[in-house]
Structure 1
Amino acid sequence: MTNRSDKQTADVLLLASVLEKLRTHDGLTIARLKAGESGTTAPLLELPATRRFASVHELDRARAARELVINCVRDDLKGTTQIVADAILALGVHTTSYAEAGIEERVTRSLYNPSLGPRREALLNNWHRLHQALGHQPGEAPSDRSLRGTTEPAVLRELANQLIRRAIYSVGSKTVTMLDAAPAADAAPAGRVIVVGGAVMDATFRTKTLPEPETSSEAYGFDLSPGGKGLTQAVAAARLGMRTSLIAAVTDDRFGEEILQYLHDEGVDTSLVKRIRGRRTPFTGVFEKELGDSIAVNWRNEKQVFLSPEDLDDHRDHLAGCDVLLTTFEVPRETMQQSLALAHSDPLNRPLVIVTPGQPYVDERISRDTFLRIDYLVAHPWELGHFAAQGQTPFDPDPVARNLLAFGVEALCVLVNGGCTVYSGAAHDVLSVPTIPSIYKESSAARDAFCAALAAKLVDNDGKFSAAVALWATAAMSCATADFPLTNSMPDRQRVDALLARFPFSMNGGAST
């Protein structure tokens, strides 16, 4: 019996074979796609992601297939893989970027030449320049023989794999939607969300192994992209249909402009963002392994780029009038506490408050009033160690969780290996939400997806927590983990519902707050 994994592998190999045929001559053109629609190119034209793309954008299959491949190369491939795929298929993805980086027009013409030979020659002769033009660290250029026999087949298999993933997960993609999507009139109420947190740039090195002290190792991929828990939670909430605004500090350098443009493209309101002039954007260095586990080093530039309590005073009405406030420990402790105080300015008509304690404040205590103002604290177990009693050994998160409820936190969501344990209620009820399996480990953005989904589902449920709310938020976290290799891993509502529909989990009852 052939299982789903075997079938997916066979599909990848078949699609890679199609792409290998299309790399010859003038590359992946609409004319060649149409010429082979009844035979050679049929697997690509009949791909579910192609059919969805054609339906959504009202294109014929050949044009939809070419645009889909271009989008996949641009958004889902990285570094050398992206550069090689673009050149050997003559897609022209980086024409503008190469020109802006000073690559001569004659080189670009050769790189996208109607014949494969000149494309290969231009690729090899300009290997380092092309990588540097796109901000990638180039490895050693392969030989012509290695390019043909090893590099190109591997690149096309990876492209085929990502196209298959789009066929499976495209309900979470910005560029396509399910054909049977519910009409807009049936959509859940949007809700108003304010996020208070960090907006930085992430420099992500993808590596198979971390180097030992006093040694170095080569990364197989690199990415420079907007990040930060606040930014990611805002993007995740917007993807779920929430009317979302971010309160963060952003500089006016080129990275700050890129952050703002990214937020704008994702539908996040930036009118409440604090602009700081003449300073440098904070950075996070992320070392990410193949299955998603990672470590990070933060440079916050916190003396120059920060939100003060007074900055939040200017947004008092927004904080008090939203449906849900999401905040993180990325901002100074006094600022975080002020955001909660302003949200509670009218205790009888206030937003729900969801707090992410990462990174925990070092040697700084949270006020007792702050605990009383937290509806949902969403934490990893290790973060609870900062709330443990001094001298408590060995560390046990369970009593710490119960103490936090005693301090006034309404509910504590502890995230472990893709699952969730929720402590809530005066009776300290405990609800365990099952793990939805994934081949990838929980990515750094998975918790942000959980927080946004928790906010969305609580709004849908008139602010009432239930086992179904917890399961839906956990499913959103699982979507972000499963889609970890994709650029846009934050799911939309259809993506979460589709995942739950494929798994037999059912939860009844559970604690409510």
Structure 2
Amino acid sequence: MGALSHGEWEPPSAPILTHALEKIRARDGLTLARLQDDRSQAVVPLLRLNASRRFADVHKVDLSAAAHAVICQCVLETIDGTHRIVADAILALGLFSAQYLAHGVDDRIVQALHAGSLGIRRSTLLANWARLHDSLGLPATEAPSDRTLRGTTESEVLRELARQLIRREVNSVGSRNVVASPSDDATANPEPKGRVIVVGGAVMDATFRTKSLPQSETSSEAYGFDLSPGGKGVSQAVAAARLGLEVSLIAAVADDRFGQEIIHYLHDEGVNTSLLKIARQARTPFTGVIEMELGDSIAVNWRNSTEIRLEIRDVERLSQELTDCDAVLVTFEIPRETVQRTLELVHTADHDRPLVIVTPGQPYPEDDISRHSLAHIDYMVAHAWELGRYSPPGQERFDPDPVARHLLAYGVETLCIPGNGGCTIYSDTDLQTFSVPSFPSIYKESSAARDAFCAALAAQLIDNDGIFTEQQAMWATAAMACATADFPLSNSMPDRRRVESLLSRSRFTLRPQPGN
């Protein structure tokens, strides 16, 4: 099926889906060939389902195969009893062929149930009504007449299937969590407004997806594997580009084939790669990730810091770039002294210096950054567990509240602590301390979620001339929620339309503090 002409990809209504299914059941039924037929307008509503688009993205199949799989899943998971048998037969899905054969149903009958003629499928269904029910362990009522099957039962089945598809659109995390490609809608992102520089790491992620972790001295099977560019620097740069910002990445990248893959990936995502440091005859750093089904993960980093290292002189060479942008995002993936020099360089701007957003993960094992450098941070976006080293003297038990106030006393203007889908904000401005409620998701927060928050925070601050409000905090939290909910996608970073769509459906409302 070719590219579909569409606007905001609003899901079709249940009556429209019912009508489409009624047309498709005729002749050969719901086959891949029918879904792929460019001339068949009847299939368009099924291809327009965001659940179909998401399935296609996650499983790397074309839209026709995805729509077929989504409908089959819906029949298997949400249609019960007799209606399941009828849906399978009239749409020629063949979902229960193996079970029928295993229970002694003749192969010619099984073949006839997904024949290219609706009339043959109907007559076979009615002639073997009780036997088919028995094969699936279902109690069989008396078989309806051909007239009742055509005029009543089939209509009920298709209406129910359409309703279940709509429920999947509205309630499933797979409904609207689709990152549209640029070809889908040229207006998804506005023209770039503001320039951002990200200073951080660029690695390759080797991700094993598994249902269980192996015990010591044992192994377990992974059900999926992916090798892809990663690192907080890369992730935040891509996230910012998705939001329509002009983005450059400052990072050290090897000149091996993996380094080239990272550069190509950045280029494809619209990130400027001219500021990268190319390390000759070096090996790309790797992160080994074991990822569970709902997104929680563990990781092992091999930084290869002897060959891949962003030095102080590397950022000094780019000092003009650092002071000419609107925001600088810095991660602790680069050496501590390089982070400190970067923050210092940004603050050499005479006026209108860039905003500084810092991600302190992973914390440096040997020491913290200096108190002088903390005073150069406008926004620190940190998980609670990363803040233990900043506890006030004498505090035996970790408590993020006094730690946060301790960081504000050191000069950090605003501390954002994301967690459980929401975010707690400590600020040295009039906003002081407040919490953004969580946006629920069945998936756990991934490392990409925090990166989406940082990029969205930068975008909102640039859009609003550096003014930070509860609205900006909620927008950034919504971007983080989108990245979490879209976790199964190959790139879960949202564009602006995706964030606005989530906020438009949110039940949260803001009552700004007086004077804000």
**TM-score, length of structure 1 as denominator length:** 0.71
* 1:34 corresponding residue in structure 2: 39
Which of 388, 391, 405 is the matching residue for 2:391?
388
**Cα distance between partner residues in 2 of 1:408 and 1:497:** 33
* Post-superposition offset of 1:389: 4.0
2:427 to 424, 431, 453: 424
The 3-state SS of whatever aligns with 1:219 is coil
Alignment of 1:203-222 (within 5 A): 203-222=206-225
The amino acid of 1:410's aligned partner reads E
Equivalent position amino acid for 2:46 in 1: L
Are the equivalent residues in 2 in contact too, given 1:207–1:221 (CA < 8 A)? yes
Quick check: 1:193–1:326 contact (8 Å CA) kept in 2? yes
Residue type of the alignment partner of 1:173: A
Q: How does 1:159-308 map to 2 (within 5 A)?
A: 168-170=176-178, 172-175=179-182, 177=184, 187=190, 190-308=193-311
Distance in 1 (CA, whole Å) between partners of 2:477 and 2:210 is 28
Decide whether the 8 Å contact of 1:294 with 1:444 is kept in 2. no
Amino acid in the other structure paired with 2:408: L
Return the offset for 1:441: 1.1
**Distance (Å, rounded) in 1 between the aligned partners of 2:195 and 2:514:** 25
Q: Is the 8 A contact 1:232 1:445 kept in 2?
A: yes
* AA partner of residue 259 (structure 1): I
Correspondences of 1:137-156 after superposition (within 5 Å): none
Question: Residues 236 and 452 of structure 2 are in contact (CA less than 8 Å); yes or no, is this contact kept in structure 1?
Answer: yes
How many Å separate the matches in 2 of 1:418 and 1:326? Answer: 22
Residues 512/420 of structure 1: CA separation in 2 closer, same or farther (3 Å cut): farther
1:381-439, CA deviations, whole angstroms, 9 ceiling, x for partnerless residues?
Answer: 00001212466322111101000000000000011111111101167810111101111
Distance 1:317 1:42, change over 3 A: closer
Q: Is the 8 A contact 2:374 2:412 kept in 1?
A: yes
Distance in 1 (CA, whole Å) between partners of 2:208 and 2:437 is 31
CA distance in 1, matches of 2:465, 2:429: 21
Amino acid across the alignment from 2:280: R
Letter in 1 for 2:360: P
Indicate yes or no: 2:495 matched with 1:488. Answer: no
Matches of 2:396 and 2:33, distance apart in 1: 62
Question: Partner of 2:356 in structure 1?
Answer: 353
The Cα shift of 1:167 comes to: 5.9
Tell me, in whole angstroms, the C-alpha distance in 1 between the residues paired with 2:246 and 2:182.
Answer: 20
RMSD: 3.6
Q: What letter corresponds to residue 207 of structure 1 in structure 2?
A: T
Alignment of 1:51-62 (within 5 A): none
Length-normalised TM-score, structure 2: 0.70
Question: What displacement does 1:44 show?
Answer: 2.6
What is the number of residues matched between the two proteins? 400
- Are the counterparts in 1 of residues 431 and 469 from structure 2 also a CA contact under 8 Å? no
Q: 1:435 to 1:441 in 2, by over 3 A?
A: same
- Following the alignment from structure 1 to structure 2, what is the Cα–Cα distance between the partners of residues 268 and 229? 14
- Please state how far the C-alpha of 1:213 moved relative to its aligned partner: 1.4
**Change beyond 3 A, Cα 1:23–1:202:** farther
Task: Note the alpha carbon deviations across 1:2-44, whole angstroms, 9 max, x for none.
Answer: xx9xx9xx99xx89x99xx8896xx547764535x44xx4653
Instruction: Note the alpha carbon deviations across 1:72-108, whole angstroms, 9 max, x for none.
Output: 64x4216xx99xx79x99xxxxxxxxxxxxxxxxxxx
Change beyond 3 A, Cα 1:188–1:457: farther
Contact 1:466 1:511 in 2 (8 A): no
Greater shift, 467-476 or 209-218, is seen at 209-218
Whole-angstrom distance in 1 between the partners of 2:267 and 2:492: 17
Mind listing any 5+ residue stretches in structure 1 that lack a counterpart?
51-67, 90-160
Shift of 1:454: 0.1
Deviation readout 1:342-371 (Å, 9 max, x if unpaired): 111125321000000000011213112101
**CA apart distance, 1:169:** 3.0
Q: 1:508: how far off?
A: 3.1
- Check the 8 A contact 1:377/1:413 in 2, yes or no: yes
Report the equivalent of 1:436. 439
User: For 1:501 and 1:400, how far apart are their aligned partners in 2?
Assistant: 35
Identity %: 57
Report if aligned partners of 1:197, 1:229 keep a CA contact under 8 Å in 2.
yes
5 Å matches for 1:46-195? 47-48=48-49, 73=56, 75-77=57-59, 168-170=176-178, 172-175=179-182, 177=184, 187=190, 190-195=193-198
Shift of 1:509: 2.4
- CA-CA distance at 1:253 after TM superposition: 0.6
Q: CA deviation at 1:279?
A: 0.9
1:349/1:31 CA distance change after superposition, 3 Å: closer
Question: 2:173, 2:485 within 8 Å by CA — same for their partners in 1?
Answer: no
Query: Distance between the aligned counterparts of 2:220 and 2:392, measured in 1?
Result: 40
Q: Distance in 1 between matches of 2:29 and 2:317?
A: 57
Indicate the SS of the match to 1:34. coil
Structure 2: distance between partners of 1:442 and 1:486? 14
| 3-state DSSP of counterpart to 1:169 | coil
**Is the radius of gyration larger for structure 1 or structure 2?**
2
Q: Which amino acid aligns with 1:44?
A: L
Tell me, yes or no, if the aligned pair for 2:173 and 2:441 is still in contact at 8 Å. Answer: no
How big is each residue's C-alpha offset from its partner over 1:205-257, in whole Å with a ceiling of 9 and x where there is no partner? 11111111121111111100000001000000000000000000001111000
Q: Cα–Cα, structure 1 residues 478 and 361, in superposed 2: closer, same or farther, change >3 Å?
A: same
* Partner residue in 2 for 1:318: 321
Distance 1:299 1:511 in 2: 49
Does the aligned pair in 1 maintain the 2:368–2:389 contact within 8 Å? no
